[in-house]
Amino acid sequence: MNLHEYQAKALFAKFGIPVPKGRVAVTPAEAIAAAEALGGEIWIVKAQVHAGGRGKAGGVRLARTVSEVGEHAEALLGTQLVTHQSGPEGLPIDTVYVEAAAAIERELYLSLLVDRSAERVVIMASAAGGMDIEAVAADTPEQILTATLHPAAGLSAYQARALGFGLGLTESQQRELADILGKLIKLFHACDASLVEINPLIVTDAGSVVALDAKINIEDNALFRQEALQAMRDEAQEDRKECEARAHDLSYVSLDGNIACMVNGAGLAMATMDLIKLHGGEPANFLDVGGGATAEHVTAAFKIILANDNVKAILVNIFGGIVRCDLIAEGIIAAVGEVGVKVPVVVRLEGTNVERGRQLLADSDLGILAADNLTDAAIKIVALASDEGAAA
Amino acid sequence: MSILVGSESKVICQGLTGRQGSFHTEQCLDYGTQVVAGVTPGRGGAEHLGLPVYDTVRDAVRETQATVSMIYVPAPYAADAILEAAAAGVELVVCITEGVPVLDMVRVKAVLAGQNCRLIGPNCPGIITPGTCKIGIMPGFIHTPGSVGIISRSGTLTYEAVWQTTNAGLGQTTCIGIGGDQLRGMNFIDCLALFEADPDTRGIILVGEIGGSDEEQAAEFITSDVTKPVVAYIAGVTAPAGKRMGHAGAIISAGKGTADDKFEALERAGVTTVRSPAELGSAMAKALE
């Protein structure tokens, strides 16, 4: 789950990590009031969306007067911001964050994340801040500094010093960095973060170290113990169908093709998409209905799939396992009837009572096509989708 | 022969009295697994499914001499359950539980590094030696004793590989679902080493998916240490970058961990790769001709 910049900065402030003064606004009038309350002479109006690259996309604007703050807020609020990370439709700007501008001497990069191969939390830092850090890592990997945290030892002083020297910080700035690192690590664990990123972390003209930006991702598996953070979820920033799927304990990802799939198990769901592609089709989604594949889940899954107008055919691929295939077939038949599926459906079932399951599907009069095996299923669905496409 | 578990394995179940624990333990018992006890804190002294229930893993191990534990406790308590089993001297811990927080696993892995305990999972179907010992949620009937070792990051996709090798008349020595999370216990390499050393395993099927670099590391290990034929499939060729595909570990980030990279690394290691998951069984049969 992603947080907005303003939410992340509030958490930073709570943990004692220095951030510029800022206020949230959802109307131009509020933005003006925010600027007046903050005082100063220059403000930054920042679009709050769950995507990086806001600056280049025109989502971060400088204002030299309070009325200019209002104009920027007016121009941004209620629009979609398209960045290189947002997808072509962009993300809605429902909130702006008004900040007192900081005088920047240097721009650094700092992040914490779980490194899966090290199986540890790792700190990454770079003197090349304010840039696309993935490009820095690819082009000049020597500019990326890392420190791996052992769970028992945490951050050692020598690691903080090495980062401080590596970033070319003065002695007092190094002390500030070490303080920030300690607090970031506390925040990372307390919030069950999967990523905390500050890009840029700045050195101000007065020589102090400040988090000018803030990005926090919370690990989904840990949300059960992060109630306060769960309340910060902004579903307007998320794919509507993916939200709906989550509400039904389904895992769904939209894709660009026209063949929908519904599969039990994430690995098999990916493999089914690959198989469709291998046989010349294009998958419309990833959808894992989970191990049970109950009638209730399957019905919810059909509804989510059919909300996508591109869908020309649906492939259901269930490896029954412990759940009997005849029960799954009954679930599919009930769901197809209830939802009123108008596009062709191919079902591939495998597992206990498979013959009975296939017979039920064949007898259902709902035009559900049973496939004999994986390959047969893929060939049938690709042919049906291209017929439908031609007819339309 | 088989690896890790067999007819002699004595197994306890942590979370036996819960819904999942009850259901799947019953299936394991039906299959013939020697499940000897359950552990549910606060329920010590009770009996469930005809098995004694203990308050602690230490009690259960002391009374039954079990060496394996399968865990079905809910995600918030799974890391603690793993550590309890390891501390009680359990040699093999199989954690089926899905949704264990990754920072919990960072702690678990650090503790286990200093102990003589193997972990399979979490978020996995478990391990089975066909005909003798099923520890997990996989459907027993699709397996048959035979000569192929199977290692997989996915559940139902493992069943595909199993079913195909059963239908091809090859059967399996042992099948291990290592789990779909970012941080897990045993990895491809650990299992490859055991299958390589097992005289009855003639060939190995490796089922990977996008994300991380475990398949690439497996490829290096195969080059240096595996002489038996290996057939591999990687799920997620069509997966978009930056999207988590169900499993916490199945995500392409910063352009790394793509299926194409993994296929390429495995092919360089001399592994027979299949682009269709439907061809795992036939490719293995051909490799063993």
* Nearest Cα to Cα of residue A266 among B211, B103, B206: B211
Smallest CA–CA distance, residue B224 to chain A, in Å, is 20
Q: Say what the pLDDT of residue A246 is.
A: 87
What is residue B127's three-state secondary structure? strand
Strand order in the sheet with A345-350: A251-254, A285-288, A259-263, A313-319, A345-350, A368-371
Q: Is B27 on the interface with A (CB under 8 A)?
A: yes
Contact A274 B237 (CB under 8 A): yes
Contact by Cβ (8 Å): B174, A359: no
Contact B238 A270 (CB under 8 A): yes
Check whether A29 has a pLDDT greater than 90: yes
**Looking at chain A from residue 13 to 72, which residues have their Cβ under 8 Å from any Cβ of chain B?**
none
Contact B156 A225 (CB under 8 A): no
Scan for tokens 């790394």, then name that residue. B256
CA dist A343 and A360 (Å) reads 19
Q: Say what the pLDDT of residue A341 is.
A: 86
More confident residue, A337 or B234: B234
Q: Which two tokens stand for residue B199?
A: 């005289």
What is residue A73's three-state secondary structure? helix
CA dist B19 and B169 (Å) reads 35
* Alpha helices for B48-185 (secondary structure H): 57-64, 75-87, 102-112, 156-167
CA dist A198 and A111 (Å) reads 6
- Give the pLDDT confidence of B35-76 residue by residue, as tens digits: 999 999 999 999 999 999 999 999 999 999 999 999 999 999
Clarify whether A109 is annotated catalytic: yes
Residues belonging to chain B: 289
Q: Say what the pLDDT of residue B252 is.
A: 83
Q: Say what the pLDDT of residue A200 is.
A: 94
Q: Which range, of A96-100, A224-228, A361-365, averages the lowest pLDDT?
A: A361-365
Q: Which two tokens stand for residue B187?
A: 């990895």
Q: Which two tokens stand for residue A250?
A: 């389904």
Q: Say what the pLDDT of residue A17 is.
A: 98
Contact B246 A288 (CB under 8 A): yes
Q: Say what the pLDDT of residue A26 is.
A: 97
Q: Say what the pLDDT of residue A293 is.
A: 67
Contact by Cβ (8 Å): A325, A351: yes
Q: Can you tell me the mean pLDDT for A322-350?
A: 86
CA dist B194 and B197 (Å) reads 5
Contact A222 B103 (CB under 8 A): yes
More confident residue, A93 or A141: A93
Q: Is B8 on the interface with A (CB under 8 A)?
A: no
ipTM tops the 0.95 cut: no
Percent of chain A with pLDDT over 70: 98
Give the largest CA-CA distance in chain B. 56
CA triple B283-A372-A319, angle to 5 deg: 75
Nearest chain B Cα to A138, which residue?
A: B254
Report chain A residues whose CB lies below 8 A from the CB of B152: 267
Q: What's the DSSP call for residue A243?
A: H
Q: Say what the pLDDT of residue A21 is.
A: 95
Nearest chain B Cα to A263, which residue?
A: B156
Report cis status (omega within 30 of 0) of the bond before A200.
yes
Smallest CA–CA distance, residue B29 to chain A, in Å, is 14
Query: Which H, E and C letters describe B167-219, residue by residue?
Result: HCCCCEEEEEECCCCCCCCCCHHHHHHHHHHCCCCCEEEEEEECCCCHHHHHH
Report chain A residues whose CB lies below 8 A from the CB of B107: 151
* Nearest Cα to Cα of residue B32 among B174, B134, B122: B134
Q: Can you tell me the mean pLDDT for A9-27?
A: 97
CA dist B214 and B243 (Å) reads 19
Q: Say what the pLDDT of residue B128 is.
A: 97
Q: What is the pTM of this model?
A: 0.93
Instruction: List Cβ<8 Å contacts ≥24 apart for A6-12.
Output: A6/A48, A6/A95, A6/A97, A7/A216, A7/A232, A8/A196, A8/A214, A8/A215, A8/A216, A9/A97, A9/A211, A9/A214, A11/A187, A11/A191, A11/A214, A11/A216, A12/A187, A12/A211, A12/A214
Contact by Cβ (8 Å): B150, B172: yes
* Nearest Cα to Cα of residue B272 among B211, B228, B236: B228
CA dist A253 and A331 (Å) reads 23
Residue A309 burial (10 A CB sphere; 0-12, 13-18, 19+): exposed
What is the 3-state composition of chain B as percent helix, strand, coil, each rounded to the nearest 5? 35, 25, 40
Confidence of residue A291 (pLDDT cuts 50, 70, 90): low
More confident residue, B29 or A373: B29
Q: Is A271 on the interface with B (CB under 8 A)?
A: yes
Clarify whether B247 is annotated catalytic: yes
Q: Beta-carbon neighbour count of residue A307 at 10 Å?
A: 12
Catalytic member of A30, A99, A107, A197? A197
Report chain A residues whose CB lies below 8 A from the CB of B97: none
Check whether A229 has a pLDDT greater than 60: yes
Catalytic member of A6, A30, A97, A109? A109
Contact A320 B139 (CB under 8 A): yes
- Give the pLDDT confidence of B73-123 residue by residue, as tens digits: 999 999 999 999 999 999 999 999 999 999 999 999 999 998 999 999 999
- Give the pLDDT confidence of A351-371 residue by residue, as tens digits: 878 888 888 888 888 888 889
Q: Beta-carbon neighbour count of residue A318 at 10 Å?
A: 26
